[in-house]
Amino acid sequence: MNVYEILTKTIVNKLEKGIIPWKKPYNGIEVAPMNFLSKKEYNGINRLLLSLTGFNSPYWLTYNQAKTYLGYKKVGRAWKWKGKGEDPKLGVQKECTPHKILFAKTCFKKDKEGKEKSYTVWRYSIVYNLDEINGIDCPYVKEVEDNSLKINNKYITNCQKKIRLYSDTETIPPIIVHSKPIAFYNHTKDYIGTPNINGYHESEMYYATLFHEIIHSTGHKSRCNREFGKTMKSSQYAKEELIAEIGSFFLCNETGIASATIDNTVAYLQSWLKHLKDDPKMIIIASSKAQEAMNYLAQAPKLV
């Protein structure tokens, strides 16, 4: 049993002990994402997906909900302004990003014997954050503290050396520091984005998140050439998230911060496993792909 298999067993053992709540590693509103009209919180994979978008507002609406709330009425396929005066062009901004949420629909069909049986079909709906809807003020009045002004996270030497090695030898794509509370890997333009270290709750969370995006970047066609999945609801997308998070844990172990990040890693993994119907084999498959990513990173030339 190699070191990666031992680490994977540690993750599996943690998963078998029950549910661990996932904590968003970077600073921002801690209110759960919810529908603006019903105030009903999103659960499961939808809660995770919407929490990762980086918006300040926790509220979400469908396009139709936004238009109806603002006073428009649908006539045929067009929305007509029913307020006073000229149409103020309220609603979802043209440049905003649609986000998919998943929901299960129970359907029924009769078998060969004429007995009715139920089965589940997964559907998705498109929602938009209140920050990107013109005409609706966010009622969330609690001010969001600028934690970056109060937090003074310290750089961790072992982690910095690892990232510098990968960056300076061009083993990974450029890392861009930005002001939004979200980290990501853009596989189309091939770069990594992250808030600065003080945008995270803890130093260890900064590096664990950055390691996650670094593993994602190894999936680029010029590196390990993995399939990312075209949509967040696809099983391939979920598998890639498992690979990135397990690979992040491997890097955390190499740099000595795994004990501080293991619980959040397991919490993140269990969320995506739910999307894959708790298939226990997926951890082993994803672990194997994460090992391949680690082998690729290990080939980085050593700096003098």
pLDDT higher than threshold 60 for residue 39 = yes
pLDDT higher than threshold 50 for residue 145 = no
- Which alpha helices (H) appear in the chain, and where do they start and end? 3-16, 44-51, 63-69, 157-168, 203-217, 235-255, 258-275, 281-298
Backbone angles phi, psi at 291, to 5 degrees: -65, -40
The phi-psi region of residue 39 (left if phi > 0; otherwise alpha if psi is between -120 and 50; otherwise beta) is left
pLDDT higher than threshold 60 for residue 81 = yes
Strands 184-186 and 175-178 turn out to be: unpaired
What pLDDT is stored for residue 304 in this prediction?
44
Rounded Cα–Cα distance for residues 129 and 127 (Å) = 7
pTM beyond cutoff 0.85:
no
Per-residue pLDDT band for 28 (boundaries 50, 70, 90) equals low
| Residue range 46-75, pLDDT digits in tens | 877 787 676 778 899 999 999 999 989 998
What pLDDT is stored for residue 50 in this prediction?
82
What pLDDT is stored for residue 131 in this prediction?
83
What pLDDT is stored for residue 290 in this prediction?
94
Percent of the chain with pLDDT over 70: 85
Closest CA to 276 of 246, 237, 245: 237
What pLDDT is stored for residue 213 in this prediction?
96
| Residue range 247-287, pLDDT digits in tens | 999 999 999 998 888 888 888 887 777 666 666 678 888 89
